Amino acid sequence: MKILIARMNHETNTFSPVPTPLEAFGRDGPSYGDDAYRENAGMRTAMSAFIDAAKRADAEIVTPVSAQANPSGRVAAAAYDAICQSIVYAAAGCDAVMLDLHGAMVAENSPDGEGDLLERVRRALPHAPIAVSLDLHANVTQKMIDNADVITSFKTYPHVDMYESGEHAARLLLDLIHGKAKPVIAWAQPPLLTHTLRSATAEGAMKRAVDAAREAEDEEGVLAVSVLSGFSLADIAAPCISVVVVADGERTKAQQVAHRIARQIWSERDGFVYRSAPLAQSVSEGAALARETNKPILLLDHGDNCMSGGTCDTTDAFEEALRQELDGIVVGPLCDPEAVAKLFAAGEGSRITVGIGNKLASVASCGKPPLEVTGVVRALTDGEYIISGPTYTGQRAYMGRAAVLETPAARILLTERTHEPWDLGVFESVGIDPRSARFLILKSRMYCRPVFVPISGGLVECDSRGVTSSDYGLFDFGNLKRPVYPLDVEADY
């Protein structure tokens, strides 16, 4: 048996000005062939699980590509074509396909990146079974449903079960191949734009929806149930929450379960809506928390969040902290290649005045000048470190060149690439102990929490009204099918 295994991950924020060329995938582009295999073998991605399952099945493994990029704007047409072609061209002679996909990719030449890829793979291998593992924030489409035999998704956010989702999909695909099951897929999609800050699976309506999915998987004939909250910052027809059910030969059963959980979600639709407080109020709440603890207070700038496509160069939250005279601040990573170049030219130990941030036109920073700061260059590095986990455990992370500028009130981490603070290594790799901060201003929404919450004395969510803001009124949705909740209160399901 010959199994094609590949990874194509990108969550596209169509409102983001951050470009997504082929070079954005990986350090300097995707990994191919044996490099793609090595990048995932022994790791905790869905592709890692596919490799392990195929090895146990004593299958020949073909790994044409592993391509993962941070969320950003539309994927360049040339990049999308190159990744898809590498997968489709490798399909010849394969008996099965396992794909690690995000599910919310929009390319310049495709509003449904994964659906169009799956259609091409199905055309190339009309009789080969196809299994797909999706991110919890996937925007599911009918084309994706029509061209896959098995679909599973993560059940955690922050995502700590990527491997388990791949393992589940692989198991069902192998059961299909060996005649132990006949997977059929059904799905339901209420007209609901969820907020990412309401898709955390440890609490609230999202937890109850995922709990219902887990319980349904114990029902006879039900093989897999996924609740996918969707990614709403995409101007496509339906960037909405979905329920996908895989049943054993009974499509009616699958459809019943999908609609049952979808109706539960719709009955709790307000639980998926997040309303931001004014930025000044949020920073003030952080200042109050700091008076009660010696541990760092997390100020999470989710309005400019890397892992939702933020520019990571807005300075609103940092400026508000300075206006309120906070000190002991550690802020970053702030993406500003121009400022990094100036700090490298100045050299460590140099005193320099430099303008930082507000260089990419976005909702928040359009027309706003860079923030001028004066300080001492404390560190210059290659910006690389190994993630300790629990997300992307063991993988090497690339921030581009990184520099630390120390001012009287703050230590500012500047990088050449947008980067999520997955790990304490973001700061430790440049000589900053995040535990020593009084305030940690992180351009993050959720992924920082498993690592930074345990060292903190409190957390406040701050909306800087960047391109990842929770205020959907900032964005011009031209392709969205209406009515949809919460933009339209008359929406119904």
Q: Which runs of E-coded beta strand occur in 174-271?
A: 183-188, 222-228, 242-248
pLDDT band at residue 306, thresholds of 50, 70 and 90?
A: confident
Predicted model pTM? 0.92
> How far apart are the C-alpha atoms of 38 and 202, rounded to whole Å?
33
pLDDT per residue as tens digits for the range 139-188:
999 999 999 999 999 999 988 899 999 999 999 999 999 999 999 999 99
Query: Which residue, of 272, 298, 333, is where some domain finishes?
Result: 272
Across all residues in the chain, what is the average pLDDT? 95
Q: How many residues does the chain have?
A: 493
Q: pLDDT: is 366 or 405 the higher one?
A: 405
pLDDT score at 390: 80
Q: What is the pLDDT of residue 127?
A: 95
Query: Per the domain annotation, does 455 fall within a domain?
Result: yes
Q: How many CA atoms lie within 13 A of 153 on its CB side?
A: 29
- The answer to whether residue 491 is domain-embedded is no
Q: Which pLDDT value is given to residue 174?
A: 98
pLDDT attached to residue 188: 98
The domain boundary residue, chosen from 272, 303, 321: 272
Say what the pLDDT of residue 365 is: 52
- On whether residue 46 sits in a domain, the answer given is yes
Residue 88 belongs to domain with CATH number: 3.40.50.10350
Look at residue 388 in the predicted model and tell me its pLDDT.
87
Is 145 in the same domain as 91? yes
Query: What pLDDT, on a 0 to 100 scale, did the predictor assign at position 91?
Result: 97
Is residue 313 assigned to a domain? yes
Same domain, 253 and 345: no
- Looking at the fold, whether 57 and 26 belong to one and the same domain comes out as yes
Residue 475: inside a domain, yes or no?
no
Judge whether 57 lies within some domain: yes
**Is the same domain home to 222 and 326?**
no
pLDDT per residue as tens digits for the range 252-305: 999 999 999 999 999 999 999 999 999 999 999 999 999 999 999 999 999 999
User: Is 316 part of any domain?
Assistant: yes
Among 6-10, 53-57, 76-80, 395-399, the minimum mean pLDDT is found in 395-399
The backbone torsions φ and ψ at residue 42, rounded to the nearest 5 degrees and listed phi first, read 80, 0
pLDDT band for position 128 (cuts 50, 70, 90): very high
Residues 126 and 192 in one domain: yes
Asked if residues 153 and 244 have their Cβ atoms less than 8 Å apart, the reply is yes
Would residue 234 count as lying in a domain? yes
Mean pLDDT confidence for 102-111: 98
Query: 120 and 27 in one domain?
Result: yes
Same domain, 306 and 217: no
Half-sphere exposure of 324 toward its Cβ, with a 13 Å CA cutoff? Answer: 19
Is residue 196 domain-shared with residue 307, that is, in the same domain? no
pLDDT at 363 over 70: no
Segment 51-60 shows an average pLDDT of 98
339 with 213, same domain: the answer is: no
Choosing from 216, 237, 272, the residue where a domain stops is: 272
User: Do 244 and 368 share a structural domain?
Assistant: no
Cα(356)–Cα(408) distance, rounded to whole angstroms?
16
Strand partners, 184: 247
Whole-angstrom distance, CA of residue 151 vs CA of residue 170: 10
Phi-psi region of 273 (alpha: psi -120 to 50; beta: other; left: phi over 0): beta
Residue 362: is its pLDDT beyond 80?
Answer: no
For residues 340 and 356, give the distance between their C-alpha atoms in angstroms, rounded to a whole number. 9
12 and 27 belong to one structural domain: yes
Q: Are 431 and 378 in contact (CB under 8 A)?
A: yes
| pLDDT for res 368 | 83
Nearest to 139 by CA among 11, 331, 283: 11
Q: What six digits make up the tokens of 66?
A: 């592993």
Same domain, 265 and 392: no
Structural domain harbouring 465: 279-469
Number of domain units in the chain: 2
